[in-house]
């Protein structure tokens, strides 16, 4: 059983150190509960064989996992590289970081974990003198841990606070967006980040409900949306929840910032692998990689004869959550 401290423990420390200790008693109860009943999460690393094949060009090199998560890709990378080579793992979520550190603690000489937003990875790599990199991996978005823990507020399937922050340093929560933002801004967010054609209708319903009573939980929001939209193949709130998550964590800005930041630290012949999970992310990666190719900075690496690789049928059977994943890899010239 893993013994890492869960999200609420770091959240409690965060509340106390920021002076907002009025939330501390409730949080303290959550901490005690979660320490007595530690949760275990599972996250299956996506497109693992394809990542290892395309990223590890030199088993003696320096590698960066910019999205450590629960350390699934990192563990496999550490097993594939030599004892002299090193891997740095970044995550901005303290809970993920602790979980990965605990998982990978038997390999301390080779592995180090750093809590940081990958957008700031230039400063981290500089400070740690961790370059030139042989390979960098970005496995975007959130992990199963985030969806499966109701307290994180990412899932409309479980009742929890409307939070959705990957980092406790983040001031914006999903509750603040739905309870405070003007209807037009909420509609724009759902349209642009959720690509939901019913964005205006959803925004109007959100504002009508909050005028009666402010939202506090994920299920309250999910119900308001499912009440006004017809049943489809996916839950009516899927796109709104995705849009809120993207906005709360500035995911698209981070993506561009992180990829631009990593390129100067990659050695000639080194590689950058990115796994995306929705079209907004994939469009950004495709466009940026193609601009690098045009500028003769990089070339596309084909995996099994393809520039974009998706999970095989066998992987999808094992892990349906991988269904929208796409892997793109470039090599620095
Ligand atoms: C899909 S999960 C990674 C899973 C991991 N590859 C594994 O196999 O366990 C993505 C992780 O990236 C982290 N993350 C997302 N955006 C980030 C950012 N801008 N900076 C640092 N970490 C980020 C999330 O907290 C999450 O833990």
Q: Which fold has domain 48-144+253-332?
A: Rossmann fold (3.40.50)
Query: Is the entire prediction scored with pTM above 0.85?
Result: yes
CB-hemisphere CA count at 13 Å for 64?
33
Q: Which of 47, 46, 65, 53 is nearest to 262 (CA)?
A: 65
The 8-class DSSP code of residue 197 comes to T
240 in contact with ligand 1, CB cutoff 6 A: no
- For 20-34, how does the pLDDT look when each residue is reduced to its tens digit (9 = 90+)? 444 455 545 444 444
Q: Which of 32, 153, 164, 166 is nearest to 95 (CA)?
A: 166
Determine how β-strand 86-91 pairs with β-strand 266-276. unpaired
pLDDT of residue 43: 76
- For 187-199, how does the pLDDT look when each residue is reduced to its tens digit (9 = 90+)? 999 999 999 999 9
Q: Kindly tell me if the per-residue pLDDT of 299 is higher than 50.
A: yes
Find out whether 122 and 134 touch, Cβ atoms under 8 Å. Answer: no
The atom of ligand 1 lying closest to the CA of 254 is: 19
Percent of the chain with pLDDT over 90: 81
**Cα 223 to ligand 1 centroid, rounded to whole Å:** 29
Torsion of CA 210, 215, 219, 221, to 10 degrees: 40
The closest residue, in CA terms, to atom 2 on ligand 1 is 143
**Cα 224 to ligand 1 centroid, rounded to whole Å:** 30
**Cα 69 to ligand 1 centroid, rounded to whole Å:** 5
Q: Kindly tell me if the per-residue pLDDT of 61 is higher than 80.
A: yes
What are the φ and ψ backbone dihedral angles of 161, each rounded to 5 degrees?
-65, 150
Q: Kindly tell me if the per-residue pLDDT of 231 is higher than 90.
A: no
171-248: CATH number: 1.10.150.170
The atom of ligand 1 lying closest to the CA of 119 is: 19
> What residues form DSSP beta bridges with 69?
none
The closest residue, in CA terms, to atom 16 on ligand 1 is 141
Q: Greatest CA separation found in the chain?
A: 62
Find out whether 295 and 230 touch, Cβ atoms under 8 Å. Answer: no
Determine how β-strand 111-115 pairs with β-strand 86-91. parallel
Q: What ranges do the domains of the chain cover?
A: 7-36, 48-144+253-332, 171-248
Q: What share of the chain is helix, strand, coil (3-state, %, to 5)?
A: 50, 15, 35
**Cα 141 to ligand 1 centroid, rounded to whole Å:** 6
Residue listed under structure tokens 């599972």: 42
The atom of ligand 1 lying closest to the CA of 275 is: 1
């Amino acid at each position: 059983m893993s013994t890492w401290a869960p999200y609420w423990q770091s959240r409690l420390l965060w509340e106390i150190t920021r002076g907002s200790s009025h939330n501390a008693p409730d949080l303290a109860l959550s901490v005690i509960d979660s320490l007595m009943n530690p949760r275990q999460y599972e996250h299956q690393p996506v497109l693992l064989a394809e990542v290892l094949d395309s990223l590890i060009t030199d088993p003696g090199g320096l590698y960066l996992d910019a999205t450590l998560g629960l350390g699934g890709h990192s563990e496999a990378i550490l097993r594939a590289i030599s004892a002299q080579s090193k891997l740095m793992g970044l995550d901005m979520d303290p809970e993920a970081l602790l979980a990965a550190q605990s998982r990978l603690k038997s390999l301390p000489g080779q592995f180090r974990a750093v809590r940081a937003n990958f957008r700031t990875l230039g400063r981290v790599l500089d400070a740690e003198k961790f370059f030139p990199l042989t390979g960098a991996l970005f496995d975007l978005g959130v992990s199963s841990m985030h969806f499966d823990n109701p307290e994180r507020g990412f899932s409309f399937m479980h009742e929890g606070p409307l939070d959705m922050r990957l980092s406790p340093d983040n001031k914006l929560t999903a509750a603040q967006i739905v309870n405070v933002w003007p209807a037009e801004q909420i509609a724009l967010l759902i349209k642009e980040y959720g690509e939901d054609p019913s964005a205006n209708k959803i925004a109007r319903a959100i504002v009508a409900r909050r005028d009666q009573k402010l939202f506090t939980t994920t299920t309250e929001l999910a119900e308001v949306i499912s009440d006004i939209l017809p049943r489809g193949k996916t839950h009516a709130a899927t796109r709104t929840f995705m849009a809120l998550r993207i906005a709360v964590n500035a995911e698209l800005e981070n993506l561009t910032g992180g990829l631009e930041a990593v390129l100067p630290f990659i050695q000639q012949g080194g590689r950058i692998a990115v796994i995306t999970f929705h079209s907004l992310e994939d469009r950004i990666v495709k466009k940026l990689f193609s601009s690098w190719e045009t500028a003769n900075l990089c070339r596309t690496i084909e995996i099994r004869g393809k520039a974009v690789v998706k999970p095989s049928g066998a992987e999808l059977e094992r892990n349906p959550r991988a269904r929208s994943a796409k892997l793109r890899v470039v090599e620095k010239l």
